[in-house]
Chain A
Amino acid sequence: MSTLDDRPANPAIGEVRPNKRGGVAALIQSPVAIRLGALLILAIGLSLLHLSGRVFWQGLVINLGIFMILVLSLNLASGFTGVFSLGHIGFMALGAYGSAILTLPLAKKADYLPNLPAWLASIHFDFYLGPFPLGFLLATLLAAGLVAGVALLVGLVLMRLSGHFVAVATLGFLVIVRVILFNADNFTRGSRTFSNVTPYTGLWWVWFWAILTLYVVWRLKYSAYGRAMLAQREDALAAQAVGLAIMPPRLLAFVVSAFFTAVAGSLYAHFITSFSPTVFYFDLTFRVITMLIVGGLGSVSGSVLGTVVIIALAEALRRLEDVTLLYGMSQITLAVIFIVIILFRPNGLLGRREIVLARLFRKGGEPSP
């Protein structure tokens, strides 16, 4: 708790800055160095995991990264602006199907989706730049860009609503996406499994996108754009009284959030390689919202923490399930944990606070005065 930044600023602590110390110590403790250090540690961890060849753990860490993108995006759209979206998994589904159609090999496409329009049937994003699958990146960007466009249209209508109304309306969007996916046989094979997707997604891909999402969400939060989002969440009338229109910050959050959610969809599609519309529904929606609420609405580090906690718990409980043979217990336990957190820490583990890396380090390295 000592590293949370919501405490009233204590000038006595604030003054003890590393600049009084030697150059090297100051350098090591600068925020930039600490962030680079954290990235380096993550990179080393991923490399070790990559080299270890342990497929199970690699899969778990990939899942962790995908969920982190989903939770961070939902936090941007819902936690920052207070406009709660229950429809985000719809964007994920569109991102998954959109990118998968683009990267599907031509032969498979002819065989698999014979009724695709000609221009789409002849597209295959399989180009490489050396060993780098540029096609996958482009397919992901293209799908996510289209989804962002859809989000803009949806948002222009739905972001006028607030509170319960917007939750119900976005839920309607999720249902609409599902119905479309089931019925657009020519593109999605309807209710049949969409498989044979090239397994491009690996540790590096997922964590590149996860860190990028984290970075963008963090930057937005501590900028005029983020302040506008938070201000209109706190009091829409007061926000207008200080010259802020309500729609632009909401739309920005919604569209950027939909973009990254669609990216997560693309990563997911190229990770599990076969899926059907049923995957993208209430179950997944509930799981992402649980992570978000457990971490704390509006807290970026809370989203990271919430994702890690729930993924770890779910995995531990699943193993326990295998031993005790009490199948279904893990889901019930997770739901109970969710209820307990809502009851006793309604603002989540971190609330609106943030864990600041720099402070973690400084505290540790500081000799007591």
Chain B
Amino acid sequence: MPLLQVIGLSKSFRGVRALDGYTLQLSPLSIHGVIGPNGAGKTTLFNLLTGFLKPTSGTIHLLQQDITHAPAYRIAQLGIARTFQNIRLFGNLPVIENVKVALQSQFANSLWATLISSRAFQQNERELEARAEQCLELVGLTSQRDQEAHNLPYGEQRKLEIARAVALNPKILLLDEPTAGMNPNETDEILHLIRRLRDELNITIMLVAHDIPLIMNLCTHIQVLNYGRLIAEGAPQTVRTNPEVIAAYLGQAKYA
């Protein structure tokens, strides 16, 4: 049974079809890549899957549950975490607090317990802190825990965003251009991190990237979007040699 099942997903912005009849069967523990030229609808797709946009038509099921019209925060709670193309951290909060925010729904306290600072509340907060530190350790940000997030260098901000998403304990993690603007060294680190998330934490990964070698290297399955439509799908090797894909990337003339 697919973890995530999407059927006929479409989104129009004032008549412009940003995504048209998209279909997906995401199997557990895959690393699924979505590629395509600029404006192909990749980010729109992520926004639809995470509830930040409402589809014009189509359905999205997480396991058996219909989440097509669920609000974004609910989808996050149900197990689809994401990062953003242009990093979105809680900039003025310390690094550790960024992670705690994502963890706290798993360590809920009543308002009353909070106000009287009950034993259960203190215990919960300690566990929350410990879990948050584990998440930072995973991405190697332990030493930065008390820095304000906006003070981190770019590459570490990306890692923190991933740590925050992982803190949700998600079934699926959607990464929107996780290596954009990174040097080869940092790209390599992210690549290893993504594999670890899949292998050690059993998180199914779906990612959008422009970095074709990265995608070919990392993904078990690839989909190619162009002008909002799926033009190819399959294992990296088959997609690489698909003439329509080559045409979309290199232009019609070469194909013809």
Contacts and interface: CB of A to CB of B under 8 A. Distances in A.
Interface of A: 6, 8-9, 216, 219-220, 223-225, 227-228, 230-231, 234-235, 237-246, 252, 352
Contacts of A227: 93, 97, 100-101, 104
Q: How large is the interface on B (under 10, 10 to 19, 20 to 34, 35 or more residues)?
A: 35 or more
A243 B88 contact: no
A242 B76 contact: yes
B240 to A, nearest CB: 32
Contacts of A230: 90, 92-93, 97
Given A234-B91, A234-B92, A241 B76 contact: yes
Contacts of A252: 111
Contact of A241 (B82, B100, B114, B121): B82
Given A8-B146, A8-B147, A231-B90, A245 B102 contact: no
Interface of B: 50-52, 71-74, 76-77, 81-82, 84, 88-93, 97, 100-102, 104-105, 107-109, 111, 114-115, 117, 121, 125, 145-148, 164-165, 167-168
Contact of A243 (B91, B92, B105): B105
Contacts, number: 94
B227 to A, nearest CB: 26
Contacts of B145: 9
Nearest to B111: A225
B97 A243 contact: no
A242 B102 CA distance: 5
Nearest to A244: B73
B13 to A, nearest CB: 18
Nearest to B145: A9
A352 B97 CA distance: 14
B90 A243 contact: no
A235 B109 contact: no
Given A239-B101, A240-B52, A241-B84, A220 B147 contact: no
A219 B115 CA distance: 6
24 contacts: A8-B147, A219-B114, A223-B114, A223-B125, A224-B109, A225-B114, A227-B97, A227-B101, A228-B101, A230-B90, A234-B89, A234-B91, A234-B92, A235-B89, A235-B91, A237-B84, A239-B90, A240-B52, A241-B52, A241-B72, A241-B82, A242-B101, A243-B168, A245-B71
A8 B143 CA distance: 10
A223 B93 contact: no
A223 B109 contact: yes
Nearest to B146: A9
Most chain B CB within a 10 A radius of its CB, from A8, A245, A246: A8
Contact of A224 (B107, B117, B168): B107
Contacts of B146: 8-9
Contacts of A238: 84, 88-90
A245 B168 CA distance: 14
B50 A241 contact: yes
Given A224-B107, A234-B90, A241-B88, 4 more contacts: A235-B88, A237-B84, A239-B90, A241-B84
Given A227-B100, A231-B93, A234-B91, A220 B114 contact: yes
Contact of B81 (A225, A228, A239, A241): A241
Given A220-B114, A224-B107, A231-B93, A242 B52 contact: no
A223 B92 CA distance: 17
B108 A224 contact: yes
A245 B73 contact: yes
The 3 closest A-B pairs by CB, nearest first: A234-B90, A242-B102, A243-B76
B93 A240 contact: no
Contacts of A246: 73
A244 to B, nearest CB: 6
Contacts of B168: 242-243
A243 B92 CA distance: 19
Given A240-B71, A240-B72, A244-B101, A352 B52 contact: no
A260 to B, nearest CB: 13
A239 B97 CA distance: 12
A238 B111 CA distance: 24
Contacts of B82: 241
A235 B101 CA distance: 12
A80 B74 CA distance: 23
B175 to A, nearest CB: 12
A219 B125 CA distance: 13
B88 A237 contact: yes
A238 B101 CA distance: 10
Contacts of A240: 51-52, 71-73, 76
A9 B96 CA distance: 12
A243 B77 contact: yes
B250 to A, nearest CB: 35
Contacts of B50: 241
A21 to B, nearest CB: 24
Contacts of B84: 237-238, 241
Given A8-B147, A240-B52, A242-B168, A224 B90 contact: no
A246 B52 CA distance: 13
Contacts of B167: 242
Nearest to A236: B88
